[in-house]
Amino acid sequence: MRIFGVFLLLTLKASLVFAQHNINGTVSDKQNEPLPFANVILYEEGNTTPKGVVSDDNGKYNFANLKEGTYHIEISMLGFKTKTSKKFELTANKNLNFTLEETNESLDEVVVTSKRPVIRQTAEKLIVDLENSEMINNSLQDVVKRVPGIIVTNNGINFAGRSDVRILINGKTTDYMDMDTLLRDLPADNIAKVELIEQPGAEFDAEGSGPIINIILKKNVRLGTHGSTTVWLGEDEGIEYGTNASIASYKNKLNWQLNTGYSSPTWRDDLFIERTVGNTKYDQATIEPFDPKRIWVGGSIDYYINDNNSIGVGTRYNNSTSDRVAKSNTDITTATSLQRFVTENTFDRTQNTLSLNPYYEFKTESDKLLIDFNYVNYKNENANDIYAVNGNTVPFTNQRYLQDGEYTINTYKADYTKTFSDDFKLSFGGKYSQINTDSDLQLFTQNATGNFDFQAANSNRFLIDEKIFAVYSKVNATMGDWSFSGGLRYENSNTQGTSTNTNDTRTRNISQIFPSASLSKKITESLGANVAYSYRIRRPSYNSLNSFVTLYDPLTSEVGNPNLKPSFTNNYQFNLTFDSQPFFTVSYSETKDDLFQFISQDDTTAQISRTTINLQDRQNWNFRLFGPLDFIEGLEGFTGVIVDFNKFQSNELTPTLKLTKWNYGLFTQASYKLPWDINAEMSSYFGSGALEGQIDVGWIGNLSFSFGKKFIDDRLKVNLGIYKVLDRGFVGRVNYDNINANIESNGSRQNVQLRLTYNFGSKFGKKKSKRNGSRDEENRIDSND
């Protein structure tokens, strides 16, 4: 009792002598989007020394341990009008939120930009902000290369030793059906920032075992009417060209957009395989050009009913056609003979995609509800003839493949977020998707009269009916220097696959909870640390479930696998950040039943085939060190070192498969201002080699340059890109069981593109962001031009 009295007396005395209070709040723009890195200055009447802080990634600021008095706050940020509060008396904790008005809403004002994008690291993702940068980018492919550690090759995208990378647009899978189309066709001018999400939160689909690249499009249109038009010309595997145009208008409550484009790119993916089967050597060379013709048109309408309610609908149509010929030559050498397989493949492919996305949004300062529906219909028609040509010395029956596929996706989605305070936010939502696929693959062989006979036993029509239901909840909380984010996602998927060839129906039902969490700590004013965890699933692509055999040349084929089951991955990550930028990262992932592309060889026929199997275990470690180049006068950019380790293992294969390898890489992205206001950029990556599944790949190198200049009051932008100045492609080796093969996959050695973009109408200003509907199943539709 006596101790309690002393404590009470001391407390009362302290409160009488000195009362301390806090001031906190959020800085946002007119669309209620948080503004990070805003300067917040606190002035105290009678005190000539103000206090200053910078808003964090969520736009939050905080002043602690303030005495009672008269204060006012000034907020400033590049591109926004400075705002000053009225004077106020501080007698208790106070919460003050500020909404900044952009200085660029006037048509004649100038927006100051920087060449280097802002790069930030959080517990869940790395963010490359391009909104106000002058980076020279032509397409999404250029932008993705700017993400530290990302490697773009002919074989796709690789990050930290993982090639199972997903691409999203505004958090949703794009309606493009293949990676090449997406990377080459999406204009870089539309992109505000890129998020590399290694630890997706509960709001994301649990689908995928590798990292996610989330492309955030620039905020919708500017006040008034404006647009842009682009033409480009290049040389890769021949002359390539394209054009696109967009126009948008935002007046009062109605906003509309239209965009269209056409492209005719050219490139080449060549495959060379040298292998020995017994005493016979097989030297295969396949030259495969790509020359698709693509056209797309899209649009959206948004109607803002009032400050809190809006509705809208967006639609997009894509068409791609390709008519090409691939040539294959195989020399078969023994001690006493030389034979030669010489064949050609003709491809006639048409792809059509139609998407429709209506939505409703309710939004206040503390509540946000988004309900949307997305419909996608994708059709793929492909005719492929493989036949012997002059020079062939081995008997071969000419074959014809007809591969028609149709995919329909209906997705219903709702997300709700409740902000209780600057330090506590709760989110939850749900989703229901129904996917129907119809893959009709038919084989025909040529008879003696030159006609083609249908081979029913080697053909297959495969139907899939899949339903996915998901709900999630997520909490974000901050307490002092600590921040926590945690969530649970429940997904139930029911998949039914039917083969009409065998009348065999298989059903797979998966009910699983997927947790995710992250914890961050601000150690000093500059140094921060965070840890994160996520649990995820990767379902087989729809095409890989069809048991159909596709023959690429007489000795190379791909086989589907209807027995595939999903894989599950545990991901762990630790980051150190300096001034919110990445500094050091270490991450580890382990995947059970990994979806692994397995290469096998039949010694009797010498045929080599590839199929997807479930591998027992896969482990991946990666370590990254990142640093800016600003210490070099005139140079902006970053450089870094990445070290990764991959291990693939399965005791279920005979013989036991165990593959391990370390990879060491150096990446650099730099920009420099040349005379005559020409911006120059260089990007490069050099690595010691890695495992691409079963293939032990040798060292890899890539070096590219870009140059850009603006004319006509910055409305006309001219870019020249010189890519693959140095490009060592995919060169590897397979040495497992009876396979002894060297493999090389290369494309055209250099690509040059000249691009001109002209902006018309209102130059600056922006409004609410465009919404994309949920399209989270589309990435499982595999397709190639």
What range does the domain containing 89 cover?
Answer: 2-101
d(CA 349, CA 52): 61
**Same domain (yes/no): 622, 717:** yes
Task: Look up residue 459 and give its two tokens.
Answer: 């053909």
Which tokens sit at 173? 């899978």
Q: Is 461 within 8 Å of 441 (Cβ atoms)? A: yes
Residue with tokens 């036993």: 457
Residue 39 belongs to domain with CATH number: 2.60.40.10
Q: List C-alpha distances in Å: 171 to 119, 216, 526.
A: 19, 8, 30
Q: Which DSSP letter does residue 770 get?
A: P
Q: What is the amino acid identity at position 304? A: Y
Phi, psi of 16 (to 5 degrees): -75, -35
Using alpha carbons, select from 597, 508, 593, 614 the residue that is nearest to residue 559. Answer: 597
Candidates 473, 470, 541; CA nearest to 512 is 470
509 and 430 share one domain: yes
The candidate with the shortest Cα–Cα distance to 209, out of 645, 590, 687, is 590
Asked if residue 409 lies in contact with residue 770, where contact means CB atoms within 8 angstroms, the answer is no
The pLDDT assigned to 451 comes to: 94
Whether 65 and 163 share a structural domain: no
Q: How many domains does the chain have?
A: 2
Helix (H) or strand (E) holding 10: helix 2-17
Whether residue 359 is found in the same domain as residue 384: yes
CB 411 within 8 A of CB 374: yes
Query: Are residue 559 and residue 417 in the same domain, yes or no?
Result: yes
- Whether residues 75 and 178 share a domain: the answer is no
The owner of tokens 């109605």 is 254
Residue type, 154: N
Q: Could you write out the DSSP letters of every residue in 530-563?
A: EEEEEEEEEPPPTGGGS--EEEEETTEEEE--TT
Q: Are residues 10 and 156 in the same domain?
A: no
Q: Are 170 and 770 in contact (CB under 8 A)?
A: yes
Long-range contacts at 514-517 (CB < 8 A, ≥ 24 apart): 514/202, 514/206, 514/488, 514/489, 514/490, 515/202, 515/486, 515/487, 515/488, 515/489, 516/199, 516/200, 516/201, 516/202, 516/486, 516/487, 516/488, 516/489, 517/484, 517/485, 517/486, 517/487
Do both 482 and 585 map to the same domain? Answer: yes
Is 406 found in the same domain as 278?
Answer: yes
The pLDDT of residue 7: 40
CB atoms closer than 10 angstroms to residue 526: 12
- The phi and psi torsions of 675 (rounded to 5 degrees) equal -55, 160
* Mean pLDDT, the chain, whole residue set: 83
In a domain, residue 111? The reply is no
Q: Which residues of the chain have pLDDT under 70?
A: 1-19, 78-79, 103-118, 131-138, 153-156, 161, 172-189, 218-223, 748-749, 762-785
Last residue of a domain, one of 50, 72, 101: 101
User: In this structure, are 74 and 203 located in the same domain?
Assistant: no
3-class secondary-structure state, position 5: helix
pLDDT given at position 775: 43
Residue 107 counted as domain residue: no
Q: Are residues 440 and 403 in the same domain?
A: yes
Q: What is the pLDDT of residues 140-183, one digit of tens each?
A: 777 777 777 777 765 567 777 677 788 777 776 654 455 666 66
46, 441, 461, 548 from 456: Cα distances, Å: 92, 10, 10, 12
Specify burial of residue 562 (Cβ count, 10 A radius: 0-12, 13-18, 19+): middle
Q: What one-letter code names the amino acid at 656?
A: T
> What's the rounded Cα separation, in Å, for the pair 742 and 730?
11
The pLDDT score that the predictor gives to residue 79 is 64
Shared domain check, 212 and 69: no
